[in-house]
Structure 1
Amino acid sequence: MKLSVPGRLSTAALVAGVTVVATLLATGPMAGAAPARSSVTAPLPAAAPDIPVANVQAHLSQLQSIATANGGNRAHGRTGYQASLNYVKGKLDAAGFTTSVQQFTSGGRTGYNLIADWPGGDLNQVVMAGSHLDSVTAGAGINDNGSGSAAVLETALAVSRAQLQPTKHLRFAWWGAEELGMVGSRTYVNSLSTANRAKISGYLNFDMIGSPNPGYFVYDDDPAIEKVFKDYFAGINISTEIETEGDGRSDHAPFKNAGIPVGGLFSGADYLKTSAQAAKWGGTVGQPFDRCYHSSCDTTANISATALDRNSDALAHAVWTLSS
C-alpha cells in the first residue's frame, strides 16, 4: 500500500435470482376442468466455493522464496518482481486464462502489469479484481501485498476449477509499482478508452488482507459493492468497519478517479488497534494492525491465517456475486 489521494463514486448492483410461475388453464372437451398450476424456478447463481487458505499460503511461500532468491524483495524493476509476475502468469496460463503483460517505465526502471481474462461473459460489463504484486525494497512484502495477490490468484484458479460461466466478463489484475504511487494501475486506467472505462462495472481491490493483528475493513466508495462485502461478513458474524486508513493509497484510486465503481477489503497497516476494535476482533490493543508494515519482517511469519482465510472467502463471494 502506498500514498496518494482519493475521489468518490457510486453505482447500482446486481440481481440474485428469479422465480417464474406459470399458471396454465386447461379446458376439457366439454367444459371447465380444474386449472393446472405449474411452477418453474430458474436456477440461482452458483455460490462461491470455499477458498482453501492452505492454497493461498502456498502462493505466499512461493513469493517468499522468490524474494529470498532475489535480494530479499519483490520491488518494482527488480528481478524479484519479474519472477513473481512469471509465477502468477504461469498459474493463470495453465488454468485457461488469456493473459497479457502491460509494460511501463517508472523511476528509470521497467515495470509490468499482468492482466488475466476469463473467457466468456458480457464484454460490455466487466468485473475486475486486482492487487499490487510489488513489495517495497525493504523486504519480501508478504502481507503487503503478497496476501492480496495470492488471494486474487487463488480465486481466479477457483473460477477455472469451477468452469464458471458468469453473466459478466471477469478480469483479474496484478499491478506493478504501486509502492511508487499506484503507477501500474494508473497506467492501465489511462490506457483505456472512454468506452472501455465505461464497460467496467466494478473494480475490487485487495491490498493487505492478512495482517497479523487484523481488523476487518470494507471500502465504502460504492454502496452496492460495499453491501456485498458487509453482508458476507455479517453472515459469518464478523463486524466490519469502513476503511479509512488506506483511502486513496492503493490501486482503487485511479479507477475511482476515472469514474469507475470501486470496492475492496483491508486488514490494516500501521494504525494502532483500539480497545473497541480489539473487543470485537481480538488481537492486541495499542499495537499496529501490521507491525512489519514496509519492513524486512514482512515475511510468511507476518500473516494471520484466520484473516487471510476470511478475506479470501469474501473476495470469492464478491467475484461470484457481482459477476452473476
Structure 2
Amino acid sequence: MTSPRPLNQADLLSLARDVLAIESDAITALAARLDESFARAHALMLNCSGRVVVAGIGKSGHIGSKIAATLASTGTPAFFMHPAEAAHGDLGMITADDVVLALSNSGESHELIALLPAIKRKGARIVAMTGNPRSSLGQAADVHLDAGVSKEACPLNLAPTASTTAALALGDALAVSLLEARGFSRDDFALSHPGGSLGRKLLVHVRDVMHQGEALPVVSTAASIRDALFEITRKGLGLTAVTDADGELLGVFTDGDLRRAMDKDIDLKQAAIADVMTRRPKTIDANRLAVEAVQQMEQSKVYVLLVTDASRLVGAIRMHDLLQAGVV
C-alpha cells in the first residue's frame, strides 16, 4: 500500500461529487433499460405463494439482505439466505413455492452458481440480478434483470460502488411495485413496524392513552364553581368537563374561564358552572389516531382535548400523554 495522500478540501469535494454523479448516472441508465423482464420478475414475486428468498455473496450479499428486509416490511414475505450457509443445510429453507432472487454483479459467483442445480430440482423459480446477461447465473435464471453499470465510482474501477447502488435501487423498484400491486396500506406498514415511531403513530389511538372512568374530571351543569375547582384539583388535568345526566358533553371549564368570570365580576359563590363554562369545547373522537390529536392540539393551541363517542363524553387526553406514548 502506498503512503496516505491527504486531500485538500477542493479535491475532496470534487471527488465526492464525481462519485455521486457516477452513481446517479448508473441509476438513470438503469431506468432507461427497464423492459418486460422487470414485469416478468414482478409477476413471479407477486404470484409467489411461498417466500422470496434473496441470495448473494460479498457486497451483493449485503445489498441482498437489505432488499429482503425492504420486501418483507412492505408486504412481500422474504428472507435473506447466505449462499455459503445454504450449501451446508440452509438450502432446506427453499420450497417449490418460492422465488429465489440471486444477486451477483459478475453473474459468476461460484457460491451462487453451485446452488442452482439444487434450487432448480426443488422447483423454485429464479430471478437473477447481474451486470452480465450472458453470465452463468443470467443464463440459468427464469428471468434476468440487467443491473450492469458502465463503470464503478471507485477510481480504480474495482470496488463495488455504482454496481451495488444500482442493484439496491432496482431492488427498491421491485419492492415498491409489489407494494402498490398488493394495495399495501399505511396500516399494513405499521403492523410490520410496531416497535418504531411510525408504528406508534399509525397504531396508537386516542382511546389507548386517554384518561377515563374515575380519572376523568367531570361535573354536572348544577355544580357550583367551587365544586368544579375541586374536581380540577383532584383529577389534575387543568380542566373539567360539564355533562348532563346522560353523559352528553355540554361544555368545559378551565382556569381561563375562571379568569374571565372574575373579570366580569360574576359572583363566583352564587353562579352555577353552566353560567361560566365554555360551550362547544374542542373534542376528538375516541377512535381517531393519537397523532391526529397532536395535530388538532397544535392547530387549536390547546394542551388537552375532551374525547367523545358520538356526543357522549368518554375521556380526556393531554399532550403529555401523547409524549409519554411516543406519538410526538
Q: TM-score, normalised by structure 1?
A: 0.28
Q: Which has the higher contact order (CA 8 A, sep 6+)?
A: 1
Structure 1 or 2: more helix by fraction: 2
Q: TM-score, normalised by structure 2?
A: 0.28
